[in-house]
Each structure stands twice: as C-alpha cells, then as structure tokens.
C-alpha cells in the first residue's frame, strides 16, 4: 500500500461519498489476480519474472532496465518525503527534509543487514499497526452500513469515469508486485506444491488491502463529503488528521498519523527490500547467468542488490533540495504509466505458454480478469501520458 492509495481513497470519499465502494472491491480483485499470476509463474516454471520477460524478447528486459533506473531515482525522493509528512506533523520541530533522509537511511540499514526474517517481522508489525489504527479510526466514526452498502452498486457520477478507473488501478501495488516471486523464494516456497499456500497468502493480503482502502474511503466520506473541502495531495492527509482530532479527540488524530506513517514506511521498506532483487536479477539476466548459478545474484547480500539499494537511498536525497527536473519527471511518468499494462500483457503471454505445465496455465477466469486489467491499465496509461505531455 502506497501513500497514493491512501490519498486516492480519501479523495474518493471526500468527492463522491460512498459511491465507489464497488471500485475498491474490483481494484483489490484485479490486483489479486496479478499478484497470484506472478506467484504462479515462479512456482510453476521455477523461473523469475525477469527470466520470463527475457524470453519475450530484448524489448522487455530493455524497457525494464531503463525504467527501474529512472524510477528508483525519482521514487526514492518521493516516498521518503511522503513518509516524513506524518513525523513532521507529530514532531514539527524537525524539518521535513531531515525526516525524509532519516527514513531513507533507516530503510537502508534494515535491508542492508541481509536478513529477510527481520524485514518480514518489521513489515508484519507495521502492517498490523496501520490496519488497526486506520480501520479503528473508521469504526470510531460509526459510518452507516446502509449507506455504505449502496456503494456496492456500480455508479458513475458525471465526469467521474477516469477517476473511478484510477481508483481501481491504485488499490495496492505497482512495480513492487513483481518482487513477489523473490519473496516466495526467500520463504522457501519454491515448488508447485506451495501453490495453495501462495494463493491463501495473496487472498489474505488483498482482503486486508480492500478493507484498509474502504476504511479510508469511509473516513473521507463521513468527515468531508458535502463540505466542499478539497484534499490537496499528500499534505491533505495532515489536514485530515486535524479534522479527526477536532471531531474525535487528540488521541484519534495521533492514531491516524501513526497509521499514515506505518503505511508510508511499509511502502518505502517494501521497495527498499523488493526492487533491488529485480535489479540484481536484471543484471544476471543480461549477463546470461543460468538459474543454477543464480544464488549469488538473488541474495540480499549481492553487490548488485546492495548497489541498487544505495541508488534508492542516496542520490534521491539531492532531489529533496533541488526539486524534480522536468524531463526526469516526464520520463518517470511515461515509463511508470506503461508498467502495469506491460505486467498484465506479459502474464497473459507467459501463463498461457508451454513454459508452464497445463494444470498451472491460465483458466478462462484468469484470462478474462487479466485481459480486463490490460484494458484498464492501458486506458490509464494513455490518459497519464497525455496529461504529462500537455
């Protein structure tokens, strides 16, 4: 869950009340099928997603190689700044740039240890905290279940089509989803007989993601719908915490800020741990190192893994002071807009191929859902590129 997911759900509630409950549920379902597809590819084929992309042609690995370098530089600055918003609100005596650097370094040190179990335990605690605090805040507001249930019926208020599509596409994860196979590998889930456990894992994950996102929608709808208040970007979350404090007391404001911080830092930590696997595997793939010799590359102690971890942490600190160069932002936006349709298309291609045993290939449901994902993310990609170039 990234902060963009928090903002999108809160703004949806603020602008349209409970109208888009259905969109959140569809978004969680689509992301489940994408996540399950990545896990199924790894368990059924024994190959990483980078190996799969390589088999589709040089264009696939080439696109990813360019994207992951630009993305890491811009995202490193964005996610540390956003994580710092909550701590700046709680402890305003320290400037945002200092908190941003602190969080980048903290994530760097936690992942540099090379201990997956430590990363997993920290993530477990943070996800628990963010879930309990944010869902708890929504429960304290005491929403009307009758009104909430009306949002299950798909509706599109005038002018809300692209907003609804963006909300569906924003429920839980983008590039970090591609790291799922590497986390399965770290857990020791490496054979097809782990398939039921992997599916249970993904089901629990996206059930929690859906509930968490619905809680944010409820908070926005109950507090701000019909008031004319506009949440502007990430900083709107801080304004919202103030409103929560006024309505339910200062302890609830702190609960929400702690949940906001936990969601932000899990986003940072998930990227700091997961995406370096992708980069290190990209290097291995380019060097044509076979899978039986892949262990030194697919390790948190690999020099390529740690090099990309450093790339995520230190160069982006310059952007905290210099701002984001226009050309870099355009490239980041265009390449990023193309990633989700790229992922959906490649999963359809790979999971219907002879590279996977017949019993693990896509069924008609998976093909329909992944096909719908291609259309959805393709439309969003075109829209995003047009907006960037205007």
Question: 3-class SS at 156?
Answer: coil
Q: What is the pLDDT of residues 218-264, one digit of tens each?
A: 888 888 776 666 666 556 667 777 777 887 788 888 888 898 899 88
Question: Which residue would you say has higher pLDDT here, 231 or 34?
Answer: 34
Q: Whole-angstrom Cα distance, residue 172 to residue 198? A: 17
The per-residue pLDDT for 194 is 96
Structure tokens at 143: 């929403």
**Considering the entire predicted model, what is its pTM?**
0.90
Single out the residue of 381, 280, 271, 299 nearest to residue 333, CA to CA: 381
pLDDT digits (tens, 9 = 90+) for 38-65: 999 999 999 999 999 998 888 899 989 9
Helix (H) or strand (E) holding 340: helix 326-351
- The HSE-up count of residue 318 (CA atoms within 13 Å, CB side) is 8
Domains of the chain: 3-389 (1.20.1740)
Best CA proximity match to 35, nearest among 175, 163, 185, 225: 175
Between 152 and 7, the more confident residue is 152
13-22, 138-147, 164-173, 239-248, range with greatest mean pLDDT: 13-22
- One DSSP character per residue, 208-229 reads HHHHHHHHHHHHHHHHHTTTT-
pLDDT mean over 4-21: 82
């Amino acid at each position: 869950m990234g902060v963009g997911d928090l903002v999108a759900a809160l703004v949806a509630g603020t602008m349209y009340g409970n109208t888009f409950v259905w969109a959140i549920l569809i978004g969680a379902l689509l992301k489940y099928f994408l996540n399950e597809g990545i896990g199924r590819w790894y368990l059924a084929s024994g190959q990483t997603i980078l190996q799969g992309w390589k088999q589709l042609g040089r264009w696939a690995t080439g696109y990813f190689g360019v994207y992951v370098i630009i993305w890491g530089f811009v995202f490193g600055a964005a996610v540390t700044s956003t994580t710092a918003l909550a701590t700046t609100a709680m402890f305003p005596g320290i400037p945002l740039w200092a908190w941003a650097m602190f969080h980048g370094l903290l994530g760097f040190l936690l992942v540099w240890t090379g201990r997956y179990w430590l990363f997993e335990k920290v993530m477990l605690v943070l996800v628990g905290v963010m879930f309990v605090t944010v869902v708890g805040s929504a429960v304290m507001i005491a929403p009307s279940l009758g009104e909430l249930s009306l949002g299950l019926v798909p509706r599109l208020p005038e002018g809300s089509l692209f907003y609804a599509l963006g909300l569906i596409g924003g429920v839980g994860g983008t590039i970090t989803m591609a790291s799922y196979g590497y986390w399965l590998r770290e857990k020791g889930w490496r054979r097809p007989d782990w398939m039921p456990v992997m599916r249970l894992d993904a089901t629990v994950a996206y059930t929690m993601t859906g509930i968490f996102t619905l809680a944010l929608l409820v908070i926005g709808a109950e507090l701000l719908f019909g008031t004319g208040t506009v949440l502007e970007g990430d900083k709107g979350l801080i304004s919202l915490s103030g409103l929560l404090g006024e309505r339910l007391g200062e302890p609830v404001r702190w609960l929400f800020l702690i949940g906001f911080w936990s969601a932000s830092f899990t986003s940072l930590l998930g990227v700091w741990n997961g995406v370096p696997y992708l980069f290190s595997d990209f290097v291995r793939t380019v060097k044509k190192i076979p899978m039986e010799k892949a262990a030194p590359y697919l390790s948190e102690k690999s020099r390529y893994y740690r090099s990309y971890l450093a790339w995520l942490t230190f160069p982006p600190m310059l952007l905290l002071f210099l701002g984001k160069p226009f050309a870099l932002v355009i490239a980041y936006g265009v390449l990023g807009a193309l990633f989700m349709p790229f992922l959906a298309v490649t999963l359809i291609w790979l999971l219907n191929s002879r590279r996977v045993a017949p019993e693990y290939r896509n069924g008609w449901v998976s093909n329909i859902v992944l096909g719908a994902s291609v259309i959805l993310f393709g439309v969003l990609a075109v829209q995003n590129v047009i907006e960037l170039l205007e």
